[in-house]
Structure 1
Amino acid sequence: MTGPGIAYTELYVEDAHKYAAQLRDDWGFALYEPAAAAPGTVQVVAHQGAIRVLVTSAVEADHQVAAWVRRHGDGVAVVALRHADRVAAAAAAERALNAGGGCLDGAGTVSGFGDLAVRFAGPEDLLPAGELPGGGPLSALDHVAVVVPGGQLAASVDWAVRGLGFREVFREYVEVGDQAMDSRVVQSPCGTVTFTLLEPDTSRASGQIDGFLEAHGGAGVQHLAYATGSITATVRELAARGVAFLSTPGAYYEALEARLGPTAIPVAELRETNVLVDRDHGGELFQIFARSTHPRRTFFLELVERRGAGSFGTANIKALYEAVERERATADS
């Protein structure tokens, strides 16, 4: 291994068994319980393809997991990076601490972006690598989207570069009407770990990023993006299980051919499944967002199919906004 990979994401939730059952029933994950849960907790592992999700809830109300859930609601509390061995993991944790991260425990867990922690794990720590028994259409964790308060994006990128050894691979300023946000993407050297970091432009009108920060109680993971080999088939399968996806205005697809020309997945199929498409120099990116089931509407999942593209679909934000405005204009005329 030439750099870290994602070992697992850990979600702190109110009820681990209930949350894991939802991942199984709605998203097709298989479940198992680790041999020994962390002290004072109930833990369940959900797995699918190379994806590992450790779902943790507290037994007692005064446990730090319970306190985290009271602040933020159910959500991603830890991203664990798998290293070649314990020595490499310990060295990575020390680097993160020296760059300004805070030590959270003696097991290589460092405060990263607000209350989102980064854990540095060896290959044998807790969850096995590679495929495990169980099916499902999802293959890997494509990226983790993290929202930080206005004015903190540059420092967050700097910590990821100096503390994690990542490199910045993409940046964009996105304007949506009176709202705006900055987006910068950092990635591990071998490309196996990607954080999309988002910051609201506080000089503009308050928007969805500001809303996340208020409802979540500070910086945190807005969404996890899971990769799939056939996004339209996966949407149909998961919708049949009960997953609700965001709909897309018809005007988006009416303008698609003029914007991009022919696409690898026919426009009619994209329209039927509400899948979005973007293109960069490497190829095409297909994506769709699930409706948030979080009581605070602060966390959701995304599906991604990459056909050579290395970007993150930011053009879709502007295209969708313009499509909605066209539909509104048509309705008002």
Structure 2
Amino acid sequence: MTTYTDKGEKHDQGRFLCFDHITFWVGNAKQAASYYCNKLGFEPLAYRGLETGSRDVVSHVVKQGKIIYVFSSALNPGNKEMGEHLVNHGDGVKDIAFTVEDCDFLVKKARERGASIMKEPHVLEDKFGKVKLAVLQTYGDTTHTFVERMGYSGLFLPGFKEPLFCDPLLEQLPAGKLNFIDHVVGNQPDDEMVPVVEWYQRNLLFHRFWSVDDKQLQTDFSALRSIVVANHEETVKMPINEPAMGKRKSQIQEYVEYYGGPGVQHIAMNTSDIIAAIRNLKARGMEFMCVPDTYYQQLKENLKHSQVRIEEDLSVLEHTTA
């Protein structure tokens, strides 16, 4: 594992503040949003669709803590862009949006460094104020939206209204206890990790935050290499992974094949109480991966020779994840 202290060049103006929201393109936006609300503890935040004047795309927005997810689906047959994305990838993350200061400046600098600008800076406006947006192409079919909120006081973005429906059962379920997006992982085909990392360094002035190679991160069956890039303030972290050779096919390579190319593999969400969060989410019917007993046996042995001290009771952790 390697950590980095050089945060690189800092913008004289313009900053990336945090993750703003993440947009999923899915076959059934209402159903996907309902799953996240019922199983993961999100709540309906905003809506855009036929009833609000959007005749091509319907979007359901959900929120928990500072986490905002947007689930969007095509309303009409023949929507080539969204249709092809679903055919090529299935349901998946289309866009990772950042809250920024001085969108115009950041787009200007990214263009000068060679970034592909999908949508030039433009302003959306309603009675709650203005928001400036721009969209850049990153790895695969994934995009980044820059969001400059300009004092906007609406629910989410101009064009979105209050949800049409809120499931009354949600109030009876235990809280999800998820706070904010910690990081978003992008998986790449072999030998494409470094070029993507360099894209973030060159175009967004992100810096290398942390890295690990297959000598450090491997099992008997799978291995990977990963470089984490971050903004100057390190409030946005983006691990970029690629597969490495192991006894079996790397899980990163499996993802790239199943997804049909590079894309967002997972979104890590922060919680201040992981035991309570898992218990509550299990009570909501959320399914978790099973952790084998050998994991905790090996962990206890390794901790005997480590300076790391675990505050939680390991037996409680083991029971919670069983």
* Range into which the TM-score falls when normalised by the shorter chain: 0.7 to 0.9
Q: Which residue of 116, 129, 142 maps to 1:102?
A: 116
Query: In structure 2, do the counterparts of structure 1 residues 186 and 16 end up closer, same or farther at CA, with 3 Å as the change threshold?
Result: same
Q: Which residue of 189, 195, 201 maps to 1:149?
A: 189
Instruction: Please say if 1:214 is aligned against 2:240.
Output: no
Query: In structure 2, do the counterparts of structure 1 residues 188 and 216 end up closer, same or farther at CA, with 3 Å as the change threshold?
Result: same
Q: Which residue of 314, 319, 322 maps to 1:267?
A: 314
* Shift, 1:273, TM fit: 1.5
* Shift, 1:164, TM fit: 1.3
Output the CA distance in 2 between the equivalents of 1:11 and 1:37: 21
Question: Which amino acid is 1:267 matched to?
Answer: L
Question: Which amino acid is 1:148 matched to?
Answer: Q
Query: In structure 2, do the counterparts of structure 1 residues 91 and 38 end up closer, same or farther at CA, with 3 Å as the change threshold?
Result: farther
Q: Which residue of 163, 170, 175 maps to 2:210?
A: 170
Structure 2 counterpart of 1:121: 147
Structure 1 segments (4+ residues) deviating >3 Å: 34-39, 97-100, 124-129, 202-205
> Is the CA contact 2:176–2:277 (under 8 Å) kept in the aligned structure 1?
no
Q: Which runs of 5+ in 2 are unaligned?
A: 1-13, 121-132, 158-170
Q: Aligned to 1:138, what secondary structure does the other structure show?
A: coil
> Is the CA contact 2:220–2:246 (under 8 Å) kept in the aligned structure 1?
no
* Shift, 1:40, TM fit: 1.1
Residue pairs, 1:1-333, within 5 angstroms: 3-34=16-47, 40-63=56-79, 64-84=81-101, 88-106=102-120, 107-124=133-150, 128=156, 136-173=176-213, 174-201=217-244, 205-261=248-304, 262-274=309-321
Question: Which amino acid is 1:198 matched to?
Answer: N
Q: Aligned to 1:25, what secondary structure does the other structure show?
A: helix
Output the CA distance in 2 between the equivalents of 1:67 and 1:25: 29
* Shift, 1:119, TM fit: 0.8
Question: Which amino acid is 1:71 matched to?
Answer: N
- Which protein, 1 or 2, shows the higher relative CO under an 8 Å CA cutoff with sep ≥ 6? 2
What is the TM-score normalised by the length of structure 1?
A: 0.75
Query: In structure 2, do the counterparts of structure 1 residues 30 and 74 end up closer, same or farther at CA, with 3 Å as the change threshold?
Result: same
How many residues are paired up?
269
Q: Aligned to 2:218, what secondary structure does the other structure show?
A: strand
Q: Which runs of 5+ in 1 are unaligned?
A: 276-333
* Shift, 1:83, TM fit: 1.0
> Is the CA contact 1:14–1:57 (under 8 Å) kept in the aligned structure 2?
yes
> Is the CA contact 2:99–2:146 (under 8 Å) kept in the aligned structure 1?
yes
* RMSD across aligned positions (CA): 2.4
* Shift, 1:71, TM fit: 1.1
> Is the CA contact 1:90–1:120 (under 8 Å) kept in the aligned structure 2?
no
Query: In structure 2, do the counterparts of structure 1 residues 187 and 38 end up closer, same or farther at CA, with 3 Å as the change threshold?
Result: farther
* Shift, 1:225, TM fit: 0.5
> Is the CA contact 1:24–1:31 (under 8 Å) kept in the aligned structure 2?
yes
Deviations, residues 176-226 of structure 1 (Å, cap 9, x unaligned)? 225321111011111111101100126974221111111101000010000
- Identical-residue share of aligned pairs (%): 26
What is the TM-score normalised by the length of structure 2?
A: 0.77
Query: In structure 2, do the counterparts of structure 1 residues 47 and 157 end up closer, same or farther at CA, with 3 Å as the change threshold?
Result: same
Q: Aligned to 1:149, what secondary structure does the other structure show?
A: coil
* Shift, 1:152, TM fit: 0.8
* Shift, 1:263, TM fit: 1.2
